[in-house]
Amino acid sequence: MKMTKAFMLRVLGRYAPFPAKNSNCSGYLLTAGEDNFLFDCGNGVLSNLQNYLDLSQLSALFITHHHSDHVADLIALRHAYEDLQSRGEVTSKLPVYTPPYPQDTVAELEEYPGFDIKFLAEGEDIIIEDKKISWSVTNHFLYCAAYRVEYKEKAFVYTGDNAYDNETIEDNSTADIINLSKGADLLLTEASLEEEWKKEPEKRHMSARDAASLAKEAQVKHMVISHFHPRADLRKLLRESKQIHPNTSLAVEGTSYLV
Ligand SMILES: [Zn+2]
Ligand SMILES: [Zn+2]
């Protein structure tokens, strides 16, 4: 009998814009059958990732955007991967999917011999064997991608950083992220803000209630909230989120969640 291959998320880091003590910034390992996809590579992620696999087993890296809490360990990964290449433990470059902006930053990445930089192109899905990865642009300070991975009739969505506002639901990025998240089995979403913090101008992030509203609107089955400010009261965020979308979990470093 053929076993169903795992489709599973593991949280490697959950803080922003800097890590809490003994913790990490954004990084998530998505196992889909034979593939190991890393989503973002923030502070501390490369170290934690090695608890779960040998770096030679990575299939691809997906970057949402180039804020440091999502890419701080990218240069460390570069060195680690070039080391694997020099010892013959990997024979090909690591595919790195990234927005094409900021141009100077991504141009530098193209210089690294360990990386095969693949720029996201609007309207184009990514196919990796039997997985389909689609994406949309979020509402954030930098050009940021949200990703949807479909495998074995299940769907995982990761929002990256994003502002969400029910009042401006006709806003393209909000409509796009609802569409991208539609019916997802597992939605990994940022929930950076306590509700009161949204009064500060121009946050371009979601509160737990925003995240839950997105999950409800998109009729997702299970939501994991993450990307917490180290000062945030996580129990409060979870409580606020569950009032709108009951099937919500907190991201916990080292914990895995089935898609
Ligand atoms: Zn950001
Ligand atoms: Zn961030």
Task: Give the closest ligand to the alpha carbon of residue 229.
Answer: 2
What per-residue confidence (pLDDT) applies to 4? 54
CA 188-253-197 angle, to 5 degrees, is 60
At 198 the pLDDT is 74
The alpha carbon of 140 and the centre of ligand 1 are apart by a number of angstroms equal to 7
pLDDT at position 203 is 73
Task: Convert the pLDDT of each residue in 10-63 to its tens digit.
Answer: 999 999 999 999 999 999 999 999 999 999 999 999 999 999 999 999 999 999
Distance, CA 160 to ligand 2 centroid (Å)? 7
CA of 23 to the centre of ligand 2 (A): 15
Residue 68 tokens read as: 């440091």
Calculate how far, in angstroms, residue 227's C-alpha sits from the geometric centre of ligand 2.
7
Cα of 259 to ligand 1 centre, how many Å?
25
Q: How far is the CA of 127 from the centre of ligand 2 (A)?
A: 26
pLDDT, position 87: 96
State the Cα–Cα distance between residues 8 and 10, nearest whole angstrom. Answer: 7
Which residue numbers in the chain have pLDDT < 70? 1-5, 166-171, 199-202
What pLDDT is recorded for position 213?
A: 95
Cα–Cα distances (Å) from 188 to 43, 113, 156, in that order, read 19, 31, 8
Rounded to an integer, what distance in angstroms lies between the CA atom of residue 169 and that of residue 132?
26
CB 160 within 8 A of CB 64: yes
* One-letter amino acid of 193: L
| The model's pTM | 0.95
Residue 75 burial by CB count (10 A; 0-12/13-18/19+): exposed, middle or buried? middle
| CATH hierarchy code of domain 7-258 | 3.60.15.10
* Ligand located closest to 70 CA: 2
Quick one: pLDDT at residue 167?
Answer: 59
Ligand number nearest CA of 18 is 2
pLDDT for 119 equals: 97
Query: Given this model, what pLDDT does residue 1 score?
Result: 47
CB 226, CB 190: distance < 8 Å: yes
Half-sphere exposure of 27 (CA within 13 A, CB side): 29
For residues 70 and 251, give the distance between their C-alpha atoms in angstroms, rounded to a whole number. 16
How far apart, in Å, are the Cα atoms of 59 and each of 29, 39, 73, 133?
11, 11, 17, 14
Per-residue burial over 191-210, b if 16 or more Cβ lie within 10 Å, else e, is bbbbeeebeeeeeebbbbbb
In degrees and rounded to multiples of 5, residue 81 shows phi and psi of: -70, -40
